[in-house]
Amino acid sequence: MNQYLSILFFCLIFLASCQGQTIQDRPTCSDEAFDKSVNNWLNFTVPLKGVKDLSKENLKNYLILDAREENEFKVSHIEGAKHIGYDKFSIKALDEVDKERAIVVYCSIGYRSEKIGEKLQEAGFKNVYNLYGSIFEWANQGLPLVDDKGEKTNKVHTYNRKWSKWVLNKDYEKIW
């Protein structure tokens, strides 16, 4: 019996360490239904950074990577973000980046950015975070976005019409 309890205890510790954060530590989105949707899409394999937390920090302390496609990035992105894409992502684009550098990856809601974050971790990057709720939550919080010319914009590419329902802030125009 003690052997089984020891194995169970070890497994629970292992699973907790794989998750990166406990449920209580996870950031949340501004809308309960959106938060539930985000939770359903993520595996929580990459530590999370909340939008509120990131927006209060000096963004220059992070390499911010946009894991959406180029047409999405051109419509709007977080100022200072580097486009890395998803379908054509190449780890070689980050050859010059220090493996200890703090990196935040985002996409529309966090699914694609989590997958890219996993690839970064596999490549040896140590401080990788997935932006919880990603650009949709950034817009929902009313935080600033810029277009491909670096000018402020209120447009958000929503991936497609179905996903546009999660941009809840009426001050932002939905593009798909």
Query: Residue 26: which residues within 8 A CB-CB, separation 6 or more?
Result: 44, 48, 132
- pLDDT tens string 140-162: 999 999 999 999 999 999 999 99
Q: What is the pLDDT of residue 63?
A: 98
- Cβ proximity of 137 and 156 under 8 Å: no
Write the secondary structure of the chain as one string of H (helix), E (strand) and C (coil): CHHHHHHHHHHHHHHHHHHCCCHHHCCCCCCHHHHHHHHHHCCCCCCEECHHHHHHCCHHHCEEEECCCHHHHHHCECCCCEECCCCCCCHHHHCCCCCCCEEEEECCCCHHHHHHHHHHHHCCCCEEEEECCHHHHHHHCCCCEECCCCCEECEEECCCCHHHHHCCCCCCEEEC
- For strands 127-131 and 102-106, give the pairing: parallel
CA–CA dist 71, 139 (Å, integer): 18
Active-site hit among 11, 18, 29, 107: 107
Tell whether the model's pLDDT for residue 55 goes beyond 60: yes
**Taking the domains of the chain in order of start, what are their residue ranges?**
31-175
Mean pLDDT of 89-113: 97
Q: Is the pTM of this model over 0.75?
A: yes
> CA Rg, the chain, in Å?
17
Q: What is the pLDDT of residue 1?
A: 54
% of the chain at pLDDT higher than 70: 86
- Cβ proximity of 108 and 159 under 8 Å: yes
Tell whether the model's pLDDT for residue 133 goes beyond 70: yes
- pLDDT tens string 105-130: 999 999 999 999 999 999 999 999 99
CA–CA dist 116, 74 (Å, integer): 19
The number of beta carbons lying within 10 Å of the beta carbon of residue 25 is 11
CA–CA dist 168, 122 (Å, integer): 34
CA–CA dist 148, 162 (Å, integer): 24
CATH architecture entry for 31-175: 3-Layer(aba) Sandwich (3.40)
Q: Is 18 a catalytic residue?
A: no
55-59, 86-90, 119-123, 167-171: which has the minimum mean pLDDT? 55-59
**pLDDT grade for 26, boundaries at 50, 70 and 90:** confident
